């Protein structure tokens, strides 16, 4: 992950100022936010959108549309994207594994199972939480439950791969195997629970931003903040963890402590995102690799670049998903999987040939 | 495995194989009795036997002959097909993690089926043909991608799983684009034996029975295919045509099963390993392995379906719950 500090083949030359690629990414991100405000299933003229944006939510139809649907959705896409990208970056660094991703090491499936189970235990009717009608107290528990499930699943996958010293391929295979068992458990819960709400739950499981509003944003932001602050504290130790344990110790760090802390932060970021959108795969896998190509591999650059790219990816996928066949919607998670798998296979191919 | 050709002929193996076969038959007869007698509408044993003997037009006879019997037989045939296909794939790819499902065949076939179910109304044989094409395409995709890693078991499995995830996502997109009443299709996609009719039985047996016979007749070739390619060429065996033939047979079996029951995974992985484990690892010949894998597969699916019926769970979900841990165990025994 962080291993190519000085080498030139890591994409952009390290002497290039950080500002240029990051400014470019920032501009594209801003354009995407604007696009997701102006484009949608209901077509509004730019003028109406602007009117709605400045007239506040209650006053008009376009105000409601922009303020209650498009804006919170764009903001959520940004948050979720940067969280998943950061989680992927951390996991890849901790495991020295270019194939790690929250959805691959089992975090997403564990969190998904926990969320579905909480919904089931709480009250069948509150499945409306997924489309925004539930009580706030109920919803504020969801990220915590997701965190619990994600931690449990991650420790299961880690425990299973421990014997082979977390070899990349064993870790990923175990993650996918555990993930498929957890997904079967989720299907079990849904089928037992059954009824008319099955489809809502299934759409949530595909990973979607459909019907998300400010309520979800309020629910998510404290977790994002905690996770990002944690990442900030982790950046330096993470860059050192690529060395052998003895070296790390001689540098004055406790390797196991920092590894555990890093995994905890990654689970926190990924699981709380899953609690809001459902599992969205491969964003965390792809973004660090793309970011390294664009901004080089110095820890801070890489992190900021990954976050920007993650947000862009989510916004882009959401925009495509809700406009391509509108009024119907393709879930974001399905799109990121369709786009992410070819890239995953490419990485796998390179790893199989020992090019990492 | 390498001393297979030099191995002395002993009776220990056939006797153990016989015991395993008897155990499977015992499980199968118990589950048969359970599947026919239990349910929403319990049927006492004498009535059951009576109704099996002749169709006397009673309610019990109808329930058994038209509802429970086809479901049971579909389960048996599907389980047998999956066990057989798993054993074949494990041998021809020399991959202990092999299974049609793990090569992506199941989800490729499922994608083709979902495509047929949402956009076209086609007769069943055409749908079967198309789903086979889907399965073959997915398997070819997986194999060609993992050729770069010289078909290393772990990379092959990982590629197959990715192809699976890809098609699963594609199915979701498909169902949403088609905007159909998706509940039924979702339920079919979890792999279930509910509401199977004689039509499903007739869909399966013309594939399963000949494939089993073919496998037993050419079991010797499969024994040989586990040796190194150089040895085989030195022995004068044409490797590729045989591998291709058996590969197509395995894909056909898996695709037919998907068409009849929806995707049921992991049975093809577990059944051959169970046979090898019981008979003692290496020296198992395909003459024993193939029919026993089919038998074990059939028993597993029927037993799982009985539990599934009890708890109203699709059998495909139960099979994942049973098979996932086995997969994790097998992964842990692999060297990278």
CA atoms within 13 A on the CB side of A14: 12
Distance between terminal CA atoms of chain B?
20
pLDDT value at residue B11: 64
Residue A171 has pLDDT above 60, yes or no: yes
Distance from CA of A117 to the nearest CA of B (A): 16
Contacts B183 to A, Cβ<8 Å: 198-199
pLDDT value at residue B98: 84
Give the three-state DSSP class for A15: coil
Contacts A321 to B, Cβ<8 Å: none
CB-based contact, B181 to chain A, within 8 Å: no
Encode pLDDT of B174-201 as tens digits: 888 877 665 667 777 778 888 888 888 8
Encode pLDDT of A45-68 as tens digits: 777 777 777 776 556 777 777 777
DSSP string, A295-313: H-S-HHHHHHHHHHHHHHH
CB-based contact, B12 to chain A, within 8 Å: no
pLDDT value at residue B16: 83
Report d(CA B98, CA B243) in Å as an integer.
Answer: 14
B314 with B187: CB under 8 angstroms?
yes
DSSP A44: -
pLDDT value at residue A214: 84
User: Out of A188-197, A271-280, A300-309, B21-30, which region has the weakest mean confidence (pLDDT)?
Assistant: A188-197
Report d(CA A323, CA A39) in Å as an integer.
Answer: 8
A152 with A221: CB under 8 angstroms?
no
User: Out of A198-207, B96-105, B205-214, which region has the weakest mean confidence (pLDDT)?
Assistant: A198-207
Distance from CA of B57 to the nearest CA of A (A): 34
B149 and A174 in contact by Cβ < 8 A?
Answer: no
Structure tokens at A353: 């040939």
DSSP A106: T
| Unique residue bearing structure tokens 């008897």 | B22
Report d(CA B157, CA B95) in Å as an integer.
Answer: 9
DSSP A128: G
Structure tokens at A90: 């951390």
- Give the per-residue SS3 of chain B: CHHHCCCCCCCHHHHHHHHHHHHHHHHHHHHHHHHHHCCCCCCCHHHHHHHHHCCCCCHHHHHHHHHHHHHHHHHHHHHHHHHHHHHHHHHHCCCCCCCCHHHCHHHHHHHHHHHHHHHCCCCHHHHHHHHHHHHHHHHHHHHHHHHHHCCCHHHHHHHHHHHHHHHHHHHHHHHHHHCCCCHHHHHHHCCCCCCCCHHHHHHHHHHHHHHHHHHHHCHHHHHHHCCCHHHHHHHCCCHHHHHHHHHHHHHHHHHHHHHHHCCCCCHHHHHHHHHHHHHCHHHCCHHHHHHHHHHHHHHHHHHHHHHHHHHCCCHHHHHHHHHHHHHHHHHHCCCC
Average pLDDT taken over every residue of chain A: 82
- Higher pLDDT: B335 or A253? It is A253
Cis peptide before B35 (omega within 30 of 0): no
DSSP string, A251-264: TT--HHHHHHHHHH
Share of chain B above pLDDT 90, in %: 21
* A255 Cβ contact list (under 8 Å, min separation 6): A241, A245, A248, A249
pLDDT value at residue A258: 87
Contacts A199 to B, Cβ<8 Å: 182-183, 186
* A171 Cβ contact list (under 8 Å, min separation 6): A95, A97, A99, A100, A105, A157, A158, A161
Share of chain A above pLDDT 70, in %: 85
pLDDT band at B67 (very low <50, low <70, confident <90, very high): confident
DSSP A324: T
Q: What is the dihedral of CA B20, B22, B28, B29, to 10 degrees?
A: -160
Report d(CA B268, CA B101) in Å as an integer.
Answer: 8
pLDDT value at residue A1: 42
pLDDT band at A199 (very low <50, low <70, confident <90, very high): low
CB-based contact, A41 to chain B, within 8 Å: no
Share of chain B above pLDDT 70, in %: 91
Enumerate residues 126 to 145 of chain B having a beta carbon within 8 A of any beta carbon in chain A: 145
* B62 Cβ contact list (under 8 Å, min separation 6): none
Length of chain B, please? 336
The predicted model gives B263-278 an average pLDDT of 89
DSSP string, A145-199: HHHHHHHHHHHHHHHHHGGGTT-HHHHHHHHHHHHHHHHHHHHHHHHHH-GGGHH
| Chain B residue with Cα closest to A196 | B183
| CA nearest to A212, candidates A152, A277, A292, A137 | A277
* C-alpha pair distances (Å), B229 with each of B153, B235, B245: 17, 10, 16
Distance from CA of A324 to the nearest CA of B (A): 10
A184 and B336 in contact by Cβ < 8 A?
Answer: no
CB-based contact, A346 to chain B, within 8 Å: no
How many C-beta atoms surround the C-beta of residue A163 within 10 A? 10
- ipTM of the complex, rounded to two decimals: 0.81
Structure tokens at B334: 């692999």
pLDDT band at A8 (very low <50, low <70, confident <90, very high): very low
Structure tokens at B127: 């749908």
Query: Which of A174, A187, A333 shows the shortest C-beta gap to B190?
Result: A187
A19-38 and A46-55 are packed helices; what angle lies between their axes, rounded to 10 degrees? 90
B263 with B110: CB under 8 angstroms?
yes
A29 with A307: CB under 8 angstroms?
no
B172 and A331 in contact by Cβ < 8 A?
Answer: yes
Report d(CA A34, CA A25) in Å as an integer.
Answer: 14
Distance between terminal CA atoms of chain A?
10
Beta-carbon pairs below 8 A across chains A and B: 119
A55 with A40: CB under 8 angstroms?
no
pLDDT value at residue A128: 54
User: Out of A125-139, A162-176, A217-231, A309-323, which region has the weakest mean confidence (pLDDT)?
Assistant: A125-139
Q: What share of chain A is helix, strand, coil (3-state, %, to 5)?
A: 75, 0, 25
A184 and B324 in contact by Cβ < 8 A?
Answer: yes
The predicted model gives B249-260 an average pLDDT of 89
Report d(CA B141, CA A43) in Å as an integer.
Answer: 40
B106 with B163: CB under 8 angstroms?
no
Residue B251 has pLDDT above 60, yes or no: yes
pLDDT band at A6 (very low <50, low <70, confident <90, very high): very low
- Higher pLDDT: A113 or A122? It is A113
């Amino acid at each position: 992950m962080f291993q190519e500090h000085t080498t030139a083949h890591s994409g952009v030359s390290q002497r290039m100022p950080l500002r240029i690629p990051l400014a470019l990414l920032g501009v594209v991100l801003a354009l995407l936010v604007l696009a997701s405000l102006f484009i949608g299933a209901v077509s509004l003229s730019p003028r109406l959108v602007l009117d709605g944006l400045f007239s506040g939510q209650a006053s008009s139809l376009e105000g409601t549309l922009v303020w209650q649907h498009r804006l919170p959705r764009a903001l959520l896409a940004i948050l979720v994207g940067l969280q998943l990208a950061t989680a992927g970056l951390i996991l890849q660094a901790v495991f020295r594994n270019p194939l790690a991703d929250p959805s691959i090491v089992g975090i997403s499936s564990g969190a998904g199972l926990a969320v579905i189970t909480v919904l089931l235990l709480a009250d069948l009717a509150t499945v409306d939480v997924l489309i925004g009608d539930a009580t706030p107290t109920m919803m504020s528990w969801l990220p915590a439950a997701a965190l619990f499930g994600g931690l449990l699943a991650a420790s299961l996958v880690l425990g299973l791969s421990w014997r082979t010293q977390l070899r990349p391929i064993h870790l990923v295979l175990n993650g996918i195997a555990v993930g498929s068992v957890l997904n079967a458990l989720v299907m079990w819960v849904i089928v037992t629970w059954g009824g008319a709400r099955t489809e809502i739950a299934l759409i949530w499981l595909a990973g979607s931003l459909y019907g998300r509003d400010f309520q979800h944003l309020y629910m998510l932001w404290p977790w994002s903040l905690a996770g990002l602050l944690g990442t900030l504290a982790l950046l330096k130790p993470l860059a050192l963890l690529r060395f052998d344990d003895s070296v790390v110790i001689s540098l004055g760090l406790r390797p196991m402590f920092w590894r555990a802390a890093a995994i905890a932060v990654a689970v926190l970021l990924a699981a709380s995102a899953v609690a809001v959108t459902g599992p969205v795969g491969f964003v965390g896998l792809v973004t660090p690799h793309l970011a390294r190509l664009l901004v080089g591999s110095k820890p801070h650059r890489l992190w900021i670049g990954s976050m920007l790219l993650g947000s862009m990816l989510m916004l882009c996928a959401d925009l495509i998903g809700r406009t391509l066949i509108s009024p119907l919607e393709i879930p974001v998670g399905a799109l990121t999987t369709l786009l992410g798998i070819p890239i995953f296979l490419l990485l796998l191919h390179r790893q199989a040939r020992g090019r990492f | 495995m390498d001393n297979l050709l030099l191995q002395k002929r002993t009776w220990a193996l056939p006797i153990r194989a016989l015991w395993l076969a008897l155990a499977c038959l015992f499980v199968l007869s118990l589950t048969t009795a359970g599947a026919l007698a239990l349910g929403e509408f319990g049927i006492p044993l004498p009535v059951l036997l009576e109704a099996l003997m002749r169709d006397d037009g009673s309610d019990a006879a109808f329930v058994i002959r038209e509802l429970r019997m086809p479901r049971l037989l579909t389960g048996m045939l599907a389980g047998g097909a999956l066990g057989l296909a798993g054993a074949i794939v494990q041998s021809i790819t020399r991959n202990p993690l092999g299974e049609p499902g793990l090569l992506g065949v199941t989800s490729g076939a499922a994608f083709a089926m979902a495509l047929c179910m949402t956009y076209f109304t086609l007769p069943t044989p055409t749908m079967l043909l198309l789903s086979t094409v889907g399965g073959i395409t997915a398997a070819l995709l997986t194999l060609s991608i993992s050729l770069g890693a010289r078909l290393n078991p772990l990379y092959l499995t990982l590629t197959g799983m990715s192809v699976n995830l890809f098609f699963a996502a594609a199915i979701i997109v498909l169902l949403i684009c088609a905007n159909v009443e998706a509940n039924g299709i979702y339920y079919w996609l979890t792999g279930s034996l509910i509401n199977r009719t004689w039509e499903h039985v007739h869909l399966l047996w013309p594939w399963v029975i000949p494939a089993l016979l073919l496998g037993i007749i050419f079991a010797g070739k499969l024994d040989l295919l586990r040796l190194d390619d150089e040895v085989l060429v030195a022995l004068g065996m044409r490797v590729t045509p045989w591998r291709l033939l058996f590969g197509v047979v395995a894909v056909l079996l898996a695709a037919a099963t998907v068409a009849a029951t929806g995707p049921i995974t992991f049975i093809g992985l577990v059944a051959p390993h169970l046979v090898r484990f019981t008979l003692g690892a290496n020296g198992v010949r395909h003459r024993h392995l193939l029919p026993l894998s089919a038998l074990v597969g059939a028993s597993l699916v029927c037993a799982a379906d009985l539990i599934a019926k009890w708890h109203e769970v699709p059998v495909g979900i139960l099979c994942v719950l049973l098979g996932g841990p086995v997969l994790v165990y097998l992964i842990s025994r692999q060297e990278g």
